Structure 1
Amino acid sequence: MSQVKIEVNPQILKWVYQLSLNTDLDEKNKEKLDDWINNKSNPTISQLRRISKKLKFPFGYFFLSEVPKENLELLNFRTVNNYEISNPSRDLIDVINHIESKQVWLSETRRNQGFERNIFNGGFIKNGSKKNFQQVAEDILKMLDLEIGWNIATTKDRFNLLKSRLENVGVTVMYSSYVINNTRRKLNVDEFRAFAIADEYAPFIFINANDSLNAKFFSLVHEMVHIWYGTSELYNDDFKSPSLEVTEQDINHVVECLLFPEKLVKEVWTSIGKDYDVLDKVDMFANDFGVSMFSAAIALKNKDFITQNEVNEIRDNSNVTGKEDKKNSSGGPNYYTVKVAHLSKDFISEVKRSADSGEITYSEAFELTDVKNQKAYDNLLKKLKGNSI
């Protein structure tokens, strides 16, 4: 018996086809979509189910009267370059959903385990909101057992140092270059660089790993300040919290206090000397502080060391969005070593504890740690045991 074929709104099919372009959907199914769009044939229910499963969107979307706009809370908070995300990519939607599912699980687990509310999330309120930006920055550093100028003194691996300190106070930091494990779905830094999910028990930060090392470090500091204020955000430039009178400008002032202490800025800038042009001086200054040239230029302009025209020149002549860090040609770390770093040691440890105690099944543990089977899960735990990242 032949299966019943149905008509689907061509606009929905075109939207689905666009989703498929950056995925591993096979050419045969893409050809079918093309045929349906051009009225060469109509799909069956089972064909639509297979495609919705492969592209990871709700099956019911095929039967909508217009192209869906998925309402994720983080998408209300805007992204880079001062424009709203009216049509976020499937990659962005999927990575938000993926990370939020981990965050929700960890938050519920910590509540059930009787954890106290997180001391870092919303620390701005807990430590008294009647403070200037410098005092706010000092409160954050004290909580993390760091001192003013820490990013200059620590030149080797600022990102992992800060990641470790944040996880010591219960803030989970994850990062990746792709959607889950799909290397064909590379995350776009022009769409987003990072996001933060504030939560009383399990605050999360996710970093787009396709940025440069200095840009990832800056994003981590930026999102950390959002968690301190207790506000979620998708990396943006003018977010205003609905519950606090805190603007993105306030966040940026605190970030500047954390990364560019006025006394050290003057000392470093003066020590470079006058034998270099402005671009070279800013480049050396940025390397000393562990940030991009553009971030350094803004800080220097705010402290009257360079002009706005010089900032504009640096913006126009530098790669503001950053590029993925170059890999060592001799090979990188073991796959599972990298996976432990990307997922967070503390998160994996909590998944292991929950699985071993019977609170969740091992299938659920595989899903939470993004592995397919017991062998891969065991390999991940072996790396976790002695991991030094």
Structure 2
Amino acid sequence: MTEIRVDVRRELIDWAFEITDLPPESQHKALQDTKWLQENFTHYLQPTVKQLGTFATRLHIPFGDLLLDKPPKLEDIRLAFRTQENAPAQVSLTVRDVIYEMQRKQAWFKENSQIATHRLAFIGSAAGSDANETLKAVNRYLVLAHFSSPRDLFKDLRNQLAEIGILVMQKGGAGLGTNRPLEVSELRAFVLLDDYAPLIFINQKDSYTARIFSLIHEFIHILHGMDELLSGNDRDIDEERHINKVTAAFLMPTPEFKVHFDRNNVDRTARFFGVSPQAVAIRAQSLD
């Protein structure tokens, strides 16, 4: 039986290696293992369809993109990301695939669940508000309770958000397997704004204390009606600081914080409120 081969442009192969999220050593091995990428091979740049599919899967590249005449232009992702250092995220293929998966889930929920049938009034309800007014808005929709573990607190807050119509999704990587982990340093959380089915994504690899903070942080983004890409300008930095301040104030209410704060045992205070010791220290400083 005659093998059916396809012609692939070298610039598309170079593009695939340029944008793949495989580590350098894995890229090198993929190059070595792929016979049709060796110039001395009889069918150089002429793989079978199966061989090309295997290569695309290995590099996490869409199969169809390798059959184009020229490399595709990646879609501009405009989302509000939370990274470990609270700075704009570098959007890798892994992050993109997670975003696209969440967009598909959000679209299915909106169109097929028969639950997202009316516009949610709280979206954008705190746009332009100062910290105090934003905090009041958060408290209108969420009730803070104390639990024995951050995991239970996270579960309670997630359930409260679900009850008012917000999808909260968690994953630790792209796809179905575990070979494409989503590192916390790259992405902690993001929000997909929608008037009927807003979605908050949380990196499942993060700690529960961090997930709690991210959950409230992203909810405030929804109250502000914002989901644009953080460009790193002063306005965005100020907005993130504003949201972090409100998040800390909600999770560590001033009266209770003054009662339970122990400067000699910050860890104990952190455990009581279900937050990180760093968050406690910052909150203590903000309250003098």
TM-score by length of 1: 0.61
Higher relative contact order (CA 8 A, sep 6+): 2
Is the contact made by 2:171 and 2:203 (CA closer than 8 Å) also made in structure 1? yes
1:108 CA displacement? 3.1
Q: Which residue of 2 aligns with 1:199?
A: 194
Question: Take 2:83 and 2:35, find their aligned partners in 1: how far apart are those partners?
Answer: 32
Aligned pairs for 1:127-276 within 5 A: 132-144=130-142, 146=143, 150-151=144-145, 153-156=146-149, 157-232=152-227, 247-269=239-261, 272=262, 276=264
Question: Take 1:239 and 1:174, find their aligned partners in 2: how far apart are those partners?
Answer: 30
Is the contact made by 1:133 and 1:257 (CA closer than 8 Å) also made in structure 2? no
Letter in 2 for 1:97: Y
- 1:262–1:203 CA distance, 2 compared to 1 (3 A): same
- 1:185–1:60 CA distance, 2 compared to 1 (3 A): closer
Letter in 1 for 2:191: A
Question: Take 2:122 and 2:40, find their aligned partners in 1: how far apart are those partners?
Answer: 56
Is the contact made by 2:81 and 2:190 (CA closer than 8 Å) also made in structure 1? no
Question: Take 1:296 and 1:187, find their aligned partners in 2: how far apart are those partners?
Answer: 27
**Alignment RMSD:** 3.5
- 1:195–1:219 CA distance, 2 compared to 1 (3 A): same
Letter in 1 for 2:270: A
Is the contact made by 1:239 and 1:248 (CA closer than 8 Å) also made in structure 2? no
Q: Which residue of 2 aligns with 1:72?
A: 77
Is the contact made by 2:77 and 2:229 (CA closer than 8 Å) also made in structure 1? no
More helix by share: 1
- 1:289–1:188 CA distance, 2 compared to 1 (3 A): same
Question: Take 2:230 and 2:181, find their aligned partners in 1: how far apart are those partners?
Answer: 18
Question: Take 1:166 and 1:235, find their aligned partners in 2: how far apart are those partners?
Answer: 24
- 1:208–1:13 CA distance, 2 compared to 1 (3 A): closer
Q: Which residue of 2 aligns with 1:384?
A: none
Structure 2 stretches lacking a partner, 5+ long: none
Aligned length, in residue pairs: 276
Is the contact made by 1:194 and 1:234 (CA closer than 8 Å) also made in structure 2? no
1:37 CA displacement? 6.4
1:287 CA displacement? 1.2
Question: Take 1:191 and 1:108, find their aligned partners in 2: how far apart are those partners?
Answer: 31
Aligned pairs for 1:1-389 within 5 A: 1=2, 3-4=4-5, 6=7, 7-9=9-11, 10-15=13-18, 18-19=20-21, 31-33=32-34, 36=37, 40=41, 41-44=44-47, 46=49, 47-52=51-56, 55=60, 57=62, 59-61=64-66, 63=68, 65=70, 68-74=73-79, 79-81=83-85, 83-86=87-90, 88-109=91-112, 115-125=117-127, 132-144=130-142, 146=143, 150-151=144-145, 153-156=146-149, 157-232=152-227, 247-269=239-261, 272=262, 276=264, 281-304=265-288
- 1:115–1:44 CA distance, 2 compared to 1 (3 A): same
User: Deviation string for 1:140-184 (max 9, x for gaps)?
Assistant: 22223x1xxx25x33441100000000000001011122232122
Moved more, 255-264 or 90-99: 255-264
1:2 CA displacement? 5.1
User: Deviation string for 1:323-353 (max 9, x for gaps)?
Assistant: xxxxxxxxxxxxxxxxxxxxxxxxxxxxxxx
1:216 CA displacement? 0.9
Question: Take 2:38 and 2:203, find their aligned partners in 1: how far apart are those partners?
Answer: 34
Is the contact made by 2:56 and 2:63 (CA closer than 8 Å) also made in structure 1? yes
Structure 1 stretches lacking a partner, 5+ long: 305-389
- 1:293–1:239 CA distance, 2 compared to 1 (3 A): farther
